[in-house]
Amino acid sequence: MKQYLLPEGGNFYKVNMHSHTTLTDGHMTPQEVKDAYKALGYSAVAFTEHEFLFDVSYLNDESFVALHAYEYGIRQAEHPVFPFYEGKTHTSAHGEAVHMNLYAKDPKNLKMVCFNPNAPELGAYVKRQFSPNTSYVGTPDFIRSFDVENLNTVIKTARENGFLVIFNHPAWSMNRSELYCNLEGLSGMEIINGGSDRSSDIDCQPYVYDQMSRAGRRLICVAGDDNHKPHHIGIAWTMVKAPALSYENLIDNIEKGNCYASNGPEITELFVENGQLTIKCSDARGIFLSTAGRRKDYALAQSDDEPVREATFALSPEDFMFRVTVRDMRGNHAFTRFYYLDELTEQPAK
């Protein structure tokens, strides 16, 4: 029996999961951001301003959804990641950070949790327009200590108050595995941060996603631009398969993992039948299967003029989990989440 891992019905909607505007440290207004993304075929943008949840529902129309979200951030500036920098000047640039995007599952939920209204990294350019609908959970400096226990409390509190929580840009944050592999309750991980990757070429991080998953964290993976300036727009995105365009449908299918992350390739079909995984995609140089262990598989283009557009891989009972990467002719990628054998209606044969 054929089991679709990306739903058979519905439509794909292109979503930027990470965005900043003039409400905090971005260079474009919310309306300008909306207009720029709509011109590129996007159906939704999550307005993830630093430390504050803004009501941007006025941007909604019949072909565009503004997702309510915000970015929680903390940095241990006084404790550099690398011991070499201990006691030296300008160590704030070497301190590990944690940034997480919190997405309201209910569009009417403007309840702030775990926020810092005086985040030092925002400086003098914060332009907050406080909404009368915004309410607060906890004190304004609720949980700002940089340690795993407190970060897990942030995640737990956010989830209990109706938010999805995504772990952001591990390369920019200089994160180490002993931190991110011990975070509990995350909804997912930002596998591509477009703005950071454009300037560094290191914030496409499937290896971090693999490490977190192999540490027992079941996570979706998403991509977003983290746009602050116009040249950050349209670099990385999340394709969400949903029955129709609405706030509720997008969030529901993101939470279910009916989505994939990309900075180029398209995935059109993904299904399992008779113990084999089939993926169909846009023109690719390679399609790659990853599992919980070393077992891999792949399909490669024969030449630049003969791209690969489909691959079928046999699944094994020992795989435990599996995901697919598509790499296009320009070197860009699309990543599915990890799927687990216990999600399958029929198990692969031994």
Report the predicted TM-score, pTM, of the whole model to 2 decimal places: 0.94
Q: Where are the domains of the chain?
A: 10-261, 264-350
Three-state DSSP state, 307: coil
pLDDT confidence bin for 135, thresholds 50/70/90: low
For residues 211 and 189, give the distance between their C-alpha atoms in angstroms, rounded to a whole number.
Answer: 11
pLDDT confidence bin for 142, thresholds 50/70/90: low
- Residues belonging to the chain: 350
The pLDDT value recorded for residue 200 is 94
Q: What is the CATH number of domain 264-350?
A: 2.60.40
Residue-wise pLDDT for 250-278, tens only, equals 999 999 999 999 999 999 999 999 999 99
CB atoms under 10 Å from CB of 47, counted, come to: 26
Q: Which pair of structure tokens corresponds to residue 180?
A: 């991110």
Give the list of residues 6+ apart from residue 190 with CB closer than 8 angstroms, or none: 17, 18, 101, 166, 167, 168, 169, 221, 222, 223, 224
Give the list of residues 6+ apart from residue 222 with CB closer than 8 angstroms, or none: 17, 166, 188, 189, 190, 191, 238, 254, 259, 261
pLDDT confidence bin for 155, thresholds 50/70/90: very high
For residues 162 and 105, give the distance between their C-alpha atoms in angstroms, rounded to a whole number.
Answer: 6
- The whole-chain average pLDDT of the chain stands at 90
Contact 5, 270 (CB under 8 A): yes
For residues 237 and 197, give the distance between their C-alpha atoms in angstroms, rounded to a whole number.
Answer: 13
Residue-wise pLDDT for 296-341, tens only, equals 999 999 998 999 999 999 999 999 999 999 999 999 999 999 999 9
Topology (CATH level 3) of domain 10-261: TIM Barrel (3.20.20)
Q: Which pair of structure tokens corresponds to residue 217?
A: 């964290």
pLDDT confidence bin for 239, thresholds 50/70/90: very high
For residues 87 and 91, give the distance between their C-alpha atoms in angstroms, rounded to a whole number.
Answer: 8
The pLDDT value recorded for residue 121 is 47
Residue-wise pLDDT for 159-209, tens only, equals 999 999 999 999 999 999 999 999 999 999 999 999 999 999 999 999 999
